[in-house]
Structures are given as structure tokens and as C-alpha cells.
Amino acid sequence: MKKLRPILPYLKNKYIIAGLGVLIWISFFDKYDLITQYNARQALAKLEKDKKYYADEIKKNQEAINELKTNAQSLEKFAREKYLMKRDNEDIFLILDKSNSDSISVAE
């Protein structure tokens, strides 16, 4: 009780009570409470990370497209590896790696 004695006059002030009430309302019950603000900041950080990733991917793809447009050998290599294209007199044998389902080896 002795610890509350210095605080007691302030708790009788109606402006301080109203201020505390508004502060509590804004912090926990409002549409934009603290939890919502935290979640929004987390989502924003994730979106910024995704934006950076996609910007890097776009840059890589633009460099690859530029390389394919300017170099005939890289275009042929790309067509053979990605789309399994071949010349008329060639046979292609696919070797599938079970450990990595995305990789396809081409033996000519």
C-alpha cells in the first residue's frame, strides 16, 4: 500500500484515467493494434525479400536472353539441354537421375 501512495493522486485525475484508457484501447482493441502492426511489418519484410529475389531473377534471365540472342552456340546448347532438340542424324538417350528429379542428362 505504501508503494501505491505516490501514484494514488494521479489515478484520481480524470485526464490521466482517460489517457490510460485510450492508450489501452489503441494498444489492444483497435483495428490497428500492436499485434496487427507486428504482423504487417513481418509481411512487409517478407515482401521486400521476395521483391529482391525476383529482381535478381529478372536480371539473370535478361542476361541469359541477351546471351542467347547474341551467341549461336549458346542458343544451340540451350535448345539441346532444355528442350531436348536434336539434329536429323542424331539419337538422344535420356538418363534420369533418381536422386535429383529435376536433372536430365543427355547422351548423344
Q: Decide if 81 is inside a domain.
A: no
Q: What is the structure's pLDDT at 103? A: 53
The tens place of each residue's pLDDT in the chain, 108 residues long, gives 677 677 777 778 889 889 999 988 888 888 888 889 999 999 999 999 999 999 999 999 999 999 999 988 888 888 888 877 787 888 877 778 777 655 555 554
Residue 80 class from Cβ within 10 Å (0-12 exposed, 13-18 middle, 19+ buried)? middle
Residue 37 maps to a domain:
no
- Residue 20 inside a domain? The answer is yes
Question: Is 4 in contact with 12 (CB distance < 8 Å)?
Answer: no
Q: Which three cell numbers stand for residue 66?
A: 541477351
* Ramachandran area for residue 84 (φ above 0: left; ψ -120 to 50: alpha; else beta): left
Q: What is the pLDDT of residue 29?
A: 86
Write out the residue range of the structural domain in which residue 21 sits.
1-30
Instruction: Report if residue 46 sits inside a domain.
Output: no
Domain assignment present for 18: yes
Q: Residue 11: inside a domain, yes or no?
A: yes
Confirm whether 45 is domain-assigned.
no
Determine, yes or no, domain membership for 23: yes
Domain total in the chain? 1
